[in-house]
């Protein structure tokens, strides 16, 4: 490495990510909003770490400044082109500010992999599935997080003597821009010449949409009470399989025992933001909309033209599930076979 660890007054550091259009992901901006609030309470600065391949350019780092970031370390290495978790964790460990007490990462599968590796290298705690961050009167960090199973939460406290690694769920924080004119971000482009020997990755095997956590699913097909019963839910699952999507459910479907609680979408279930959300037989009650209304594309299949779900859907199919779903599945099969 040509440049050693930077010593600064950064109190919080955030691993930020960009999408295919070189725009900062909404999840990254959510993390910055929460991190800025914590840093402000501790009179510290907020910095970002961005891993990228040397050929990548054209990122608007001033957009990060508008969300409270003061410094961006643009870490460059060929291995970052494939988002190599071990390489990123090793680099973040080397370039962590000595005063940083909190490192925030996205609560994605890759983000959690990096967090676990980083926590092991720094010999510190990692809190996954975080929901809120707070600072106590004594200056300790308090982190509330969902426990495995999703029914209970717990508060973790981290003292001033160690750094806390935290991965936060997407959609639980609000994106907030600074009201005043943002201070221009200080960019540090760091070219990395060598990294420790890493485990070779032959290929990545995509997660099974039937078992993946709904929060991380790119496509979700959800069944509502309008499915009529377990047989109707099974029909909805055929559409999910045809779309390579995860199966979700409304609260009523879970309460009736047609699907388990971890499949529930809504205010008392999972908050999802997939590229595609298909609501089958779901009326669109407020508590359900709270968990999926930010999906990129929403399709509603419901025979009730007055159902509220039609008001938020980008495409509405007003018809009987028993007729609409088989027609869609057959069309998908013909397209696949063509």
Please give the mean pLDDT across all residues of the chain. Answer: 85
- Who contacts 217 (Cβ-Cβ below 8 Å, separation ≥6)? 209, 245, 246, 272, 274
Q: How far apart are CA 182 and CA 40, in angstroms?
A: 15
Q: Do domains 10-191 and 214-337 have the same CATH topology?
A: yes
Q: How far is CA 32 from CA 18, 36, 45, 61, 280, in A?
A: 14, 6, 12, 13, 35
Domain boundaries, the chain: 10-191, 214-337
- In which region does residue 257 sit, left (phi positive, over 0), alpha (psi from -120 to 50) or beta (all else)? left
Fold of the domain built from segment(s) 10-191: Rossmann fold (3.40.50)
Question: What pLDDT sits at residue 82?
Answer: 67
Beta bridge partners of 76: 52, 191
Please determine, for residue 3, whether its predicted confidence score (pLDDT) is greater than 50. no
Closest by CA to 316, choosing from 304, 327, 326, is 304
Supply 131's token pair.
């929901």
Q: Tell me the Ramachandran region of residue 224: left when phi exceeds 0, alpha when psi lies from -120 to 50, beta otherwise.
A: beta
Strands 219-223 and 276-280: parallel
pLDDT bracket for residue 4 (50, 70, 90):
very low
Q: What is the rounded distance in angstroms from the CA atom of residue 160 to the CA atom of residue 175?
A: 27
Confidence (pLDDT) at 149: 67
The pLDDT of residue 1 is 35
What's the rounded mean pLDDT across residues 214-224?
A: 94
pLDDT tier, 8 (very low <50, low <70, confident <90, very high otherwise): very low
SS3 318: coil
pLDDT tier at 9 (50, 70, 90 boundaries)? low
pLDDT tens-digit profile of 292-338?
999 999 999 999 999 999 999 999 999 999 999 999 999 999 988 87
Q: Any idea which fold 214-337 has?
A: Rossmann fold (3.40.50)
Over residues 229-280, the pLDDT tens digits come to: 999 999 999 999 999 999 999 999 999 999 999 999 999 899 999 999 999 9
Q: Is the pLDDT of residue 144 over 50?
A: yes
- Does residue 154 sit in helix, strand or coil? strand
Query: pLDDT for 169-210, tens place per residue?
Result: 888 888 888 877 777 888 887 777 666 665 666 777 778 888
């Amino acid at each position: 490495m040509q440049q050693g660890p930077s010593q600064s007054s950064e109190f919080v550091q955030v691993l930020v990510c960009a999408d295919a259009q070189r725009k900062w992901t909404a999840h990254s901006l959510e993390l910055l909003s929460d991190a800025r609030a914590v840093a402000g309470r501790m009179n510290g600065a907020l910095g970002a770490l961005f891993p990228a391949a040397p050929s990548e350019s054209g990122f608007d780092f001033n957009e990060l400044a508008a969300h409270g970031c003061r410094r961006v370390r643009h870490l460059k290495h060929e291995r970052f082109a494939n988002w190599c978790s071990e390489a990123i964790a090793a680099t973040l460990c080397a370039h962590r500010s000595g005063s940083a007490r909190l490192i925030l990462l996205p609560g994605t599968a890759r983000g959690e992999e990096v967090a676990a590796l980083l926590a092991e290298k720094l010999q510190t705690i990692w809190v996954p599935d975080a929901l809120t961050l707070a600072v106590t009167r004594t200056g300790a960090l308090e982190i509330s997080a969902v426990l495995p199973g999703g029914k209970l939460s717990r508060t973790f406290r981290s003292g001033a003597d160690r750094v806390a690694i935290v991965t936060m769920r997407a959609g639980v924080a609000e994106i907030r821009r600074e009201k005043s004119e943002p201070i221009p971000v200080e960019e540090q482009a760091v070219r990395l010449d060598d990294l420790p020997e890493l485990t070779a990755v032959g290929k990545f095997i995509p997660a099974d949409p039937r078992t993946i956590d709904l929060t991380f699913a790119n496509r979700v097909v959800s069944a509502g009470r309008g499915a009529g019963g377990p047989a109707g839910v099974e029909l909805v699952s055929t559409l999910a399989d045809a779309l390579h999507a995860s199966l979700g459910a409304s609260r009523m479907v879970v309460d009736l025992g047609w699907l388990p609680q971890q499949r529930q979408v809504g205010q008392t279930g999972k908050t999802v933001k997939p590229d595609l959300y298909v609501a089958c037989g779901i009326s669109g009650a407020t508590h359900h909309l709270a968990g999926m209304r930010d999906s990129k594309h929403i399709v509603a299949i419901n025979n009730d033209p007055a159902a509220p779900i039609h008001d938020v859907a980008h495409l509405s199919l007003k018809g009987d599930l028993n007729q609409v779903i088989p027609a869609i599945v057959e069309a998908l099969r013909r397209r696949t076979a063509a």
